[in-house]
Structure formats: C-alpha cells, structure tokens
Amino acid sequence: MRAFSFLGLVTALVLTVFAAGELRAQGMGGGDPGRRGYTYGLSPEEIAPGVYVFWGAQEPMTPENGANIVNTGFIVGDESVLAIDTGPTRLYGEEMLATIAKVTDKPVRMAVVTHHHFDHAFGMSVFKKANIPTMMHFGARPLLLRDGSGVLQFMEILVGANWVSRIEVDRPTRVTNRVETFDLGNRKVVVTPFENGHTPGDLVIYDEKTKTLFAGDLAFVGRTPTIPHADIPTWLDQIDIIEAMPWDRLVPGHGPLVTDRAQLTPMADYLRYLDDYVKRAVANGETLADSLDPPPPERFRDLAEIGVEYQRALLKLFRDVERQELDTTVR
Ligand SMILES: [Zn+2]
C-alpha cells in the first residue's frame, strides 16, 4: 500500500521540479547569449607542459553559458593529440577542435569521452565528422543512445534552440572496458575504466609524463555531485581508488584543479551523507516529503547547485528504495 502512494508522490514531485525548470527557462529570454553571440570563447589553460584544460562554469546551464558547465581538455605528444571529452554541443565541439588547432599543428588522434552525460558527450559527432575516432566505456554507449534525444529536448528548454542546433547524438566509434595505453609520441597516456560508480561506464585518463589525471565526473569539486545514474557505495570505493593513483594534479569533471587529495573529501562526505540519510529515513518509515523538508546540512550549502541537485538526489534515492521494495514484494 505504501509503495503506491509513494509512487504518486514521487511523480508529483518530478513534475513540479520539471515545471519549475521550464518556468525558469522561459524567464530567461529564449536563449539569447547577449553580445558575444553563439560562441563559447574557449581559451585553454596549460596546467602542465603539453596538458591543456578548458574550464567550465560552476553554474546551472543557461542561455548565457550555452551549457558550458564542464571541464574538457587535451594532451599534446610529439606526434599526436588526445582530446578529453567533447563538450555539451556541436558548437562547443567545433570550437574545441578549432582552438586545439591554434595551439598545435599535430593531429588529434582520438577523443576519449569520459561518460555519456550530455555536457561531456554531445560534441562527439563533430570529431567523428573530422575523422577523429571517439571512444567511450562500453557501459556508456547504450545510455547515450537511450537518453540522448530526451536530454536534448530538456537542454533546448534550458539554453535555447540556437545553442543546441544540429547536435547529433551518435554512437562512439569505439568502446572499451579495459585499461588502454596510447602513445602520443614520447608521451604515454593510460585510459582506465570504472563501472557503476558515477555512471555505468566512466573512463579516466592519466598522462604519465606530468602525472596529470583527468577524472571526469568521478570527481566533482565545489559543485554538488549529480547522481541520476550513480551507485553511491561503488562510487565511494572508486574515489578511494582514484585517491590512491599516483597523480600530482587532477582535473575534475566540474570544478577547479586538484593538487591536494583533501579537495576530494567534501564530495565523498556529501555522497556518504546522502546514502546514510536516505537509508536511515526509510528504516524509520519516513516519507520522501518528510525527508525533503529539512534543508541540506550547513556544511554542503556552499556547493554550487546544491538546491536543485539535493532534491534530485533524494528523489532518485527514494525511487531506488521503492523499486527494491517492489522487487522483493513481487518475488
Ligand atoms: Zn556526469
């Protein structure tokens, strides 16, 4: 009985959250980025010799930022270049490639897409059209193809049609589920797969020469981790593994450069809190509405996007619990 009323409540809350997003977008004037026009003004920072990052904004996606809320980058060897992620739109992917070409005349050998989330993956077709192979984790491909068009519609509502024009959600040219090493010419780069942490399929990219790790969304710094496809206990284990890797600097999917492992503590603390909070609430017979009522603890309130992401997280975690309950009932 409880499961049914629960489901109704969840549906109502999801609709409420979605409607709020829609209203917010309508209030923003239909996708006009202002005088800058539909360009991102991408400018890479060389964080270590031959290692470049395009830093994204710690903001929600808006018509002003064109959904550029993500960190991407590239690594330049003596012979070729490896790109990391492709950004949220076709326009971003095109600008990224053009900007790389201004830094180096070496060819881009491959784009490694850390996972299927739109802000990392929706620029992918640009690379494919330029005959640059794209690689994802094998667990990421089906999710990209399943969720891609729905997410595209949602993006259009939030940032406007001009930014998302002619995005093609397409399969990567390669998938992998093992450790792979690429030699860019006197420079070895190691790609390592992780399963069912942040998403079913994440890849991290390590430059041996400068001990730089691109961790994708397995690392969020200063921004609330998003968990719609996450398994939190597994993700926490993976954060431990990433902390133990031999990097001197780490580029998170969102947030500033990490040079001290302690910078990863707040995200792990937040994820552990969420997991404990929902488990405890369910054990005490509390409803989703009871749990949404108090704001998140003081120590998380400075994280970017905490308001929206905290609600989304509780909705998702309660839905997971409900699904498990239904499964056990049916069995
Ligand atoms: Zn993500």
The alpha carbon of 115 and the centre of ligand 1 are apart by a number of angstroms equal to 7
Q: Which residue has the tokens 């270049």?
A: 81
* CATH fourth-level superfamily of 2-330: Ribonuclease Z/Hydroxyacylglutathione hydrolase-like (3.60.15.10)
Distances (CA, A) of 44 to 67, 78, 173, 183, 297: 17, 19, 26, 22, 36
27-37: pLDDT as tens digits:
333 456 766 78
Average pLDDT for 38-42 = 95
Q: Is 41 exposed, middle or buried (0-12, 13-18, 19+ CB in 10 A)?
A: exposed
Distance CA(47)–CA(88), nearest Å, equals 22
The alpha carbon of 186 and the centre of ligand 1 are apart by a number of angstroms equal to 31
The alpha carbon of 242 and the centre of ligand 1 are apart by a number of angstroms equal to 16
DSSP 171-193: --SEEE-S-EEEE-SS-EEEEEE
Distance CA(213)–CA(207), nearest Å, equals 6
The alpha carbon of 137 and the centre of ligand 1 are apart by a number of angstroms equal to 13
The alpha carbon of 68 and the centre of ligand 1 are apart by a number of angstroms equal to 13
Whole-prediction pTM = 0.89
The alpha carbon of 285 and the centre of ligand 1 are apart by a number of angstroms equal to 31
pLDDT given at position 35: 63
Q: Which residue has the tokens 């991102």?
A: 40
pLDDT given at position 319: 87
Give the DSSP H/E element, type plus range, for residue 13.
helix 2-26
Q: What is the Cβ-side half-sphere exposure of residue 293, based on CA atoms within 13 angstroms?
A: 7
The alpha carbon of 78 and the centre of ligand 1 are apart by a number of angstroms equal to 31
The alpha carbon of 232 and the centre of ligand 1 are apart by a number of angstroms equal to 13
The alpha carbon of 135 and the centre of ligand 1 are apart by a number of angstroms equal to 16
Residue 84, beta-bridge partner list:
73, 112
**pLDDT at residue 5 is higher than 90:** no
The alpha carbon of 202 and the centre of ligand 1 are apart by a number of angstroms equal to 9
Q: What is the Cβ-side half-sphere exposure of residue 35, based on CA atoms within 13 angstroms?
A: 0
Average pLDDT for 311-316 = 94
The alpha carbon of 109 and the centre of ligand 1 are apart by a number of angstroms equal to 24
The SS3 call for residue 69 is coil
The alpha carbon of 322 and the centre of ligand 1 are apart by a number of angstroms equal to 24
Which of 124-145 are b and which e, b meaning 16 or more Cβ less than 10 Å from the residue's Cβ?
bbbbbeeebebbbbbbbbebbe
The alpha carbon of 330 and the centre of ligand 1 are apart by a number of angstroms equal to 32
- Determine what percent of the chain is predicted with pLDDT higher than 70: 89
